[in-house]
Structure 1
Amino acid sequence: MTVPVQTSPSRPAPAGPPARFEVAVVGAGAAGLAAALALARDGVATALVGRHGPPADGRTVALLDGSVRFLAVLGVWPELAPHAAPLAELQIVDDTGSLFRPPPARFSAAEIGLEAFGWNVENTRLATTLRAHARTTPGLTLFEADSAGLRHGSEAALLDLEDGRSLEAQLVVGADGGRSPLRTAAGLQTRTWSYPQAALTTLLAHERPHRDISTEFHTRTGPFTLVPLPGGHRSSLVWVTAEPAAKRLSGLDDRALAAAVEHQARSMLGSMRIDGPRGLVPMRGLSVARPVAPRLALIGEAAHVFPPIGAQGLNLGLRDAAALRDAVFSAREANRDPGAPASLAGFGRTRGMDARLRGAAVDMLNRSLLTDLLPVDALRGLGLMALTAIPPLRRAVMREGVLPRLGAPTLMR
């Protein structure tokens, strides 16, 4: 049995024999950082491997209520809250031109007893805040280098780093992104797909206040979404459209792009100004048949990739991180090796199901917008009208969207 050894969280891990840990998390994005913090804060000797910072691409994340609860438990939320805007209401506008176009639908978080469905914060600030906490968390050792390979032993896995060091862990967590080397090396089966679209992202300043309302226009080329940012007169943009059009828009100067955004938004927020960097995100998806292998568990985009629709991607990754913490603690309580198949079986089953259900919903919405078949338009319109007209159904869907009740991780309840 591997004996965990804790090293200083603020000093580089020493060269020489492999340092030993219960869990090694590979990947220093938001999901990996959250998983490492959740484990270390409760006494699990944890290593965090990775050095890549987030790009400044004008992207934000709408952290749903369960994710905010998780970050609050980790002690991160108080620092993020002043830089986040509440999403108190969601407005959906059908702009497809369909014969079955329903009237705009509005959903209020107050109806399900919440101040907000979630809180919108810039990705860069989220990652930077998580990283700062990781540097000062006892029991969490940072290896600021890329992983170079994973070898399996009977009682532990040996992780090699590109700088020549190595470490040993009973469980390795792959949070190393959509092109995960750990997933590839483990031979885990994946399914990938793409859409004939791209998403333009940026930050906007606008004349009229957003009043904490997130607005999503459903168009024939994809959703066009304006999400509130702090201050009342700033929002983040996710404009999903045909790939050639997205590339053309991304090449416009700030004045021309702001005018295009204002036109697409029907001037509902008045005049616009580009107020941050831009990003162009490919519209693709990835799923893993089973996010576990011997001594390996995948979380975040290593396990599932979503197009930027419906605020599902990172929130799902944070649920992975919280659920992984539960799996490790269940193994501890049963005096089991956290990397053993029996310890990972439940995690693999529940996380795989959650990802498949969310992925199917996002895929169905996006594909329904791209087709002009009248029966599809009718079903989409009737569904939105039913949500508007039937309060119990509306409340059930809102609650499920914020946090699934079945199998919700402990730190998100």
Structure 2
Amino acid sequence: MSQTADPQTEGPLYDVAVVGAGAVGLATALALARDGVRTALVGRHAPVADGRTVALLDGSVRLLRALGAWEALEPQAAPLAEMHLIDDTGSLFRPPPARFVAREIGLDAFGWNVESARLVETLRARARAVPDLTLVEHDAAGRTVEADRTVLALADDGTSGGGQRAARQVAARLVVAADGGASPLREAAGLAARRWTYPQKALTTILAHARDHREVSTEFHTREGPFTLVPLPGGRRSSLVWVSAEARAEALSALDDAALAAAIERQAQSMLGAMRIDGPRGLVPMRGLSVPRPVGPRLALVGEAAHVFPPIGAQGLNLGLRDAAALRDAVAEGMRDPGSEAVLAGFARGRALDARLRTGAVDTLNRSLLTAFLPSDLARGAGLLALSTIAPLRRLVMREGVTPRLGTPTLMRG
């Protein structure tokens, strides 16, 4: 692909410039560069906050393996061999716990849980070793769209991947915005975004506990939101995402370690025994964002620039990684000009549908927990009961939740 110099920037004309050096931006840049696409990754490699984890579903693990990152990450990840859903809403209609086993659909695990900082560090190390990928470690300050390229202005002097002084501009046929939920590139392009909030916050931390988790992820559905324990390596460590009403979440966050551990043990019905806080805490506002058409002139949105989820159901980052893999496929099909309208239109069609379906599922589940409306409880309970008792339906839902068959990107296929 493009190897020419750009006289306007006194530097190379890249095929693609990815803005944002988080997990999704790194994965996007790596997915493109592995095919020989001349790629620049623009963004500071800032420290990643400890204490947050991500459950990487099977398709995401396939992508990381294709990118050459999984071998280093796997020893730091815990498999999720089973998932248990427990209704703890106090509803009059309480179905029995639903149990999902990965081996029922031919997998060793639905996914693997890993600390977010470890994931980003591993992807960064891989990015530094890949040819055709230039790291430009400073911020983008705006862009100018021309007929056959986009020119990114850089906020300050910085360094490229080799440590040399970087140019003040970067030119590319296509710019990919992986710059987060507040995405300056999305806002500057005038792409419409729908935003909403929930009357909840999510308390996150890492726990040590007396009993082995046995590679089982357990989610309690409470009237204030899901309370989820996800395995970490070692058998007796788990990550916590406790979604509750804003006031309660803030009160829990203010407790000392011993009091918080006791509250978590009570909420978990002592299933893992005595708890101990074993990592920093986070308090995450519950909000959502969707972009109906995640593309603009020579611009594609991926990750939270295109969709933001509350931390429910492990959908957020996994959907962002599907964006990365799908963009790689779209660019491969439009080799002559990765920023052309045809390439972007194809990418937009598939990604908008996927995001809309995932957004609807997460939103429906969360809102159904917040209401004591009996028909809503009946519908949710009947759904869980059906999943528990109808094996073909359960297997279908498990497969679609882990690796959707419709429109699965090439690097995520089995």
Q: TM-score w.r.t. structure 2 length?
A: 0.95
Cα deviation 1:172-193 (Å, max 9, x = unaligned): 0000000000000110011000
Q: Does 1:122 align with 2:115?
A: yes
C-alpha change, 1:16 and 1:360, in structure 2 (3 Å) is: closer
> 8 Å contact 1:86–1:118 — kept in the other structure?
yes
Amino acid at match of 2:273: G
Asked if the contact 1:62–1:121 (Cα under 8 Å) also holds between the matched residues in 2, the reply is yes
* Partner residue in 2 for 1:38: 31
**Residues 54 and 377 of structure 1, relative CA distance in 2, 3 Å threshold:** farther
Give the 5 Å matches for 1:81-230: 81-163=74-156, 165-230=168-233
Matched, 1:4 2:15: no
Q: How does 1:5-404 map to 2 (within 5 A)?
A: 5=4, 17-163=10-156, 165-332=168-335, 336-404=336-404
> Residues of 1 paired with 2:45 and 2:51: CA distance?
17
Q: Is the 8 A contact 1:228 1:235 kept in 2?
A: yes
Alignment partners' CA distance in 2, 1:4 and 1:89: 48
Identity rate of aligned residues, in percent?
71
Output the amino acid matched with 2:206.
L
Structure 1 150/66 Cα, relative in aligned 2: closer, same or farther at 3 Å? same
Q: What's 2:163 paired with?
A: none
What per-residue deviation string (whole Å, max 9, x for no partner) do you get for residues 172-224 of structure 1?
00000000000001100110000000000000000000000000000000000
Structure 2 distance, partners of 1:112, 1:264, is 31
Runs of at least 5 residues in structure 1 that lack an aligned partner in the other structure: 7-14
**Residues 401 and 373 of structure 1, relative CA distance in 2, 3 Å threshold:** same
Cα distance in 2, alignment partners of residues 122 and 50 from structure 1? 21
Instruction: Name the SS for the 1:283 alignment partner.
Output: strand
- Rounded to whole Å, the distance in 1 between the matches of 2:100 and 2:2 is 51
Matched AA of 2:411: L
Q: What SS class does the counterpart of residue 246 from structure 1 fall into? A: helix
User: Which stretches in structure 2 are left out of the alignment for 5+ residues?
Assistant: 158-167
Which range is displaced more, 57-66 or 93-102? 57-66
Q: Secondary structure at the match of 1:211?
A: coil
* Cα distance in structure 1, aligned partners of 2:247 and 2:137: 38
Cα displacement string for residues 247-291 of structure 1 (whole angstroms, at most 9, x for unaligned residues) = 111111111111110010000000000001111111000000100
Q: Aligned partners of 1:163, 1:137: CA distance in 2, in Å?
A: 25
2:9·2:171 contact (CA, 8 Å) conserved in 1? no
Q: Which amino acid aligns with 1:174?
A: A
Matched letter for residue 178 of structure 2: A
Instruction: Number of aligned residue pairs: give it.
Output: 401
Contact 1:29-1:54 at 8 Å conserved across structures: no
Label 1:90 to 1:55 Cα distance change in 2 as closer, same or farther (>3 A). Answer: same
In structure 1, C-alpha distance between the alignment counterparts of 2:360 and 2:101, rounded to whole Å: 24
| CA RMSD in angstroms, aligned pairs only | 1.3
SS at structure 1 position matched to 2:334? helix
Q: Taking structure 1 as reference, are residues 89 and 3 closer, same or farther at Cα in structure 2, changes over 3 Å only?
A: closer
In structure 2, do the counterparts of structure 1 residues 362 and 54 end up closer, same or farther at CA, with 3 Å as the change threshold? farther
Q: 1:346 to 1:206 in 2, by over 3 A?
A: same
Q: Which consecutive aligned stretches of 4+ in structure 1 deviate over 6 angstroms post-superposition?
A: none
Contact 2:2 2:38 in 1 (8 A): no
Alignment partners' CA distance in 2, 1:162 and 1:4: 25
Tell me, in whole angstroms, the C-alpha distance in 2 between the residues paired with 1:57 and 1:377. Answer: 36
Structure 2 distance, partners of 1:167, 1:395, is 47
- Alignment-mate amino acid for residue 163 of structure 1: D
The 8 Å contact of residues 24 and 178 in structure 2, kept in 1 or not, is answered as yes
1:260 and 1:18 mapped to 2: Cα distance?
57
Offset at residue 16 of structure 1 (A): 6.3
Partner SS, residue 307 of structure 1: coil
Note closer, same or farther for the CA distance 1:16–1:168 as it changes in structure 2 (3 Å cut).
closer
The residue type paired with residue 169 of structure 1 is A
Match of 1:405 in 2: 405
Q: Is the 8 A contact 1:85 1:230 kept in 2?
A: yes
Superposed displacement of residue 5, structure 1: 5.0
SS in 1 for 2:270: coil
What's the offset of the Cα at 1:55?
A: 3.5
